[in-house]
Structure formats: C-alpha cells, structure tokens
Amino acid sequence: MPDVDPQIAIHHLYVDSKSLPIKQKKRNFSDEKNTVIREEIQALLKAKAIGQLKFPNWIANVVLVKKQNNK
C-alpha cells in the first residue's frame, strides 16, 4: 500500500523451492460477473492497493463472494 512504511507492514510469501507451481484451469465467468471483476480490479488499481505482474506459469482464478448487502 502506498505511504505505508515497509518496516511496519510487509508481506512475504515463503514457498518451498522444491514445490512446483500449480496452474489452475481458466474459468469462464458470465458477462455480469466479468463486469463486476473488471470494476473491482479497476478500483483496486486506482487506489494503488494492487499492481500488475505477469506470472504465466502461476495462475489462480478469481473467487467472487457476495457481501451481506448482496453486492
């Protein structure tokens, strides 16, 4: 996150070097769900909470979860 000192909050992913990445089969979503996914990604990119990286061998599908207010 921007403006947060890395010494206060930093994330590390410790992965066994012997482990092989697992590539999930790409899921196809409905047009409605694709729209929701795109909007959420754009909001997170605009807030600089996420960034774009390319990992062609390591893919995880999006998981959509409804909020309590059914959004």
- Nearest CA to 62 out of 31, 33, 22 is that of 33
- Nearest CA to 59 out of 16, 25, 13 is that of 25
pLDDT, tens digit (0-9, with 9 covering 90-100), for 32-66: 999 999 999 999 999 988 888 776 666 678 888 88
> How far is CA 68 from each of CA 44, 65, 71, rounded to the nearest angstrom?
20, 10, 7
Q: What is the pLDDT of residue 46?
A: 93
pTM of the complete model = 0.59
pLDDT, tens digit (0-9, with 9 covering 90-100), for 8-39: 877 777 888 888 877 778 889 999 999 999 99
Hey, what's the torsion of the CAs at 45, 8, 59, 22, to 10 degrees? 180
What does the domain layout of the chain look like in residue ranges? 1-71
6 versus 44: the higher-pLDDT residue is 44
> How far is CA 62 from each of CA 2, 19, 41, rounded to the nearest angstrom?
24, 22, 11
